[in-house]
Structure 1
Amino acid sequence: MTLERRRQIATVCKYVVLVLVGILMIYPLVWMIGASFKTNSEIFSSIGFIPKQPTFDGYKAAMNGYGGDIDIWKSMLNTYKIVIPKVILTIASCTITAYGFARFKFKGHDFLFALLMATLFLPNVVLNVPQFIMYNGWGWVDSPLYLPLIVPTMFAQDTYFVFMLIQFLRNIPKELDEAAKIDGCTALGTLWHVIVPVLKPAMTSAALFQFMWSSNDFMGPLLYVSTPKRYPAAIFVKMSMDADTGFSWNRILALSLISIIPSLVVFFIAQDQFIDGVTAGSVKG
Structure 2
Amino acid sequence: MTTAAPAKGNTKGKAKARSTTKSSATGVGPLLRGWRERRRVSQLELALRADSSARHISFIETGRARPSEELVLRLADHLDVPVRDRNSLLLAAGYAPRFRETPLEDPAMGTLREGLDQLLTGYEPYPALVVDAAYDVVAANRGITMLTDGVADEVLAAPLNAMRLTLHPRGLAPRIRNLREWRGHLLHQMERQIALQRSDALRAVYDEVAAYPVADPGVDAFDAGTDVPYFALPLRIEHDGQILSFISSISTFNTPMDVTVAELAIETLLPADPATVKYLQTHMG
User: What's the TM-score bracket when you normalise by the shorter of the two chains?
Assistant: under 0.3
Please identify which structure carries the higher helix content. 1
Q: Which has the larger radius of gyration?
A: 1
| Larger proportion of strand | 2
**Larger RCO (alpha carbons 8 Å, 6+ apart):** 1
Q: TM-score, normalised by structure 2?
A: 0.24
TM-score, scaled relative to structure 1: 0.24
